[in-house]
Amino acid sequence: MMAENCSNQKGQIMHKAHMAGIGYYVPEKVVTNADLEKIMDTSDEWIRERTGIIERRYVADGENNADMAEKASRKALDHAGCDVQDIDFIIYATLSPDYFFPGSGCLLQDQLGLNGIGALDIRNQCCGFVYGLSIADQYIKTGEYKNILLVGSEVQSRGIDLTTRGRDIAVLFGDGAGAAIISRTDDENRGIINTKLHADGKYIKELWCEDPGSIKNPRLSHEMIDSTSHWPYMNGRYVFKHAATRFPEVINEALEAANINKDDVDLVIPHQANMRITEAVRMRLELPEEKVYSNIHKYGNTTAASIPIAMSEAIAEGLIKEGSLICLAAFGSGFTWASALLRL
């Protein structure tokens, strides 16, 4: 009953949000490092050593971002024991939407038969799921919504240069979707404890996709394609350095704000950027291997989808369960970085 009795500084009733269910979907098509060796000058050894990735999934012809989101959403609904009609708002995080506009949230809403409810698309790249969780948390707290569907879904395989020219980025990314149901709860022992969001736009060009964009007139031109500015660019070493600093910083920020010791966290689930980044973060936080989750070897970097995919697998593997204290953390393009502490 605690949530019903909580009030904010203005004396308004404040509720509590918790993650009631989670699910994921990855396409069937497995693309191994050996498969990439056939289309670009790379090697299984280089990829494994630098990134920890062994294989990733790519969408099939005709399969799209919102299709994967729908499959992940239905699994999350099942896991939550929630009927689709109970959802009263959608938050959709992606950097690879089906269309320039409208957002994929509208496609998903229609596919789920939820026509009429609000659908918010957010573009916070690798931090999209944690940013979305923070938004959902605020809406539930204020009583605006009761059950929010939060999705992270990415079709990276159609937006990367799958030739030797683009190999530094191409080998990293994969496709997939994850979804969570964020619901109002009266259980004082569960729920989202806090979320911490950051960005520094000084670094936009260190990890970005320059074109097409409305800063140019026209927005899309043959020159852009000829110059390859429609492919993503990453300053790999720069990203590595910043990620290795920001991840621990934002995790510690969440822990300190909640007055929680890192040793009391059951599992840290970082955005699956790169095994070496995860390992550097784990070492800086002085955490044992079993406390920092990784599944990047199977899926590569699925951007906004990586945390809900990882969290779903951690639950399936029995690593976390009801009552577990979890810290989610992400870093990505923007630069943006974010964390969330929650008790399942």
- Contact between residue 198 and residue 337 where contact means Cβ atoms under 8 Å apart: yes
Return the residue matching tokens 């990882």.
Answer: 310
**Residue at shortest CB range from ligand ACO:** 236
Query: CB 313: neighbour CB atoms within 10 A?
Result: 18
Binder of ligand ACO out of 33, 51, 195, 295 (CB under 6 A)? 51
Angle at 181 between CA 180 and CA 183, to 5 degrees: 145
Take residue 159 and report the two structure tokens written for it: 């937006």
- Closest contact distance (angstroms) between CB of 286 and ligand ACO is 21
Does the protein bind ligand ACO through residue 46 (CB under 6 A)? yes
Q: Rounded to whole angstroms, what are the CA distances from 172 to 49, 58, 151, 168?
A: 12, 12, 21, 7
- Window contacting ligand ACO (CB under 6 A); options: 9-17, 139-147, 165-173, 212-220: 165-173
Take residue 283 and report the two structure tokens written for it: 């070492």
Q: Which is nearer to ligand ACO, 80 or 172 (CB)?
A: 172
- Closest contact distance (angstroms) between CB of 78 and ligand ACO is 29
Q: How far, in whole angstroms, is CA 286 from its chain's centroid?
A: 24
Q: Which is nearer to ligand ACO, 49 or 256 (CB)?
A: 49
Binder of ligand ACO out of 35, 88, 161, 168 (CB under 6 A)? 168
Q: Which is nearer to ligand ACO, 244 or 341 (CB)?
A: 244
Take residue 310 and report the two structure tokens written for it: 């990882």
Site residues for ligand ACO, window 85-144 (CB under 6 A)?
126
Does the protein bind ligand ACO through residue 285 (CB under 6 A)? no
- Contact between residue 84 and residue 113 where contact means Cβ atoms under 8 Å apart: yes
Which of 189, 337, 327, 344 lies closest to 261, judged by CA? Answer: 327
Q: State the catalytic residues.
A: 126, 271, 301
Does the protein bind ligand ACO through residue 301 (CB under 6 A)? yes
The DSSP code sequence of 88-131 is -EEEEE-SS-SSSSS-HHHHHHHHTT-TTSEEEEE--GGGHHHH
Binding pattern for the stretch 241-260 against ligand ACO, x by CB under 6 A and - elsewhere: --x-----------------
- Closest contact distance (angstroms) between CB of 87 and ligand ACO is 29
Binder of ligand ACO out of 31, 108, 171, 311 (CB under 6 A)? 171
Q: Which residues bind ligand ACO (CB under 6 A)?
A: 42, 46, 50-51, 126, 167-168, 171-172, 207, 234, 236-237, 239-240, 243, 273-274, 276-277, 301, 331-332
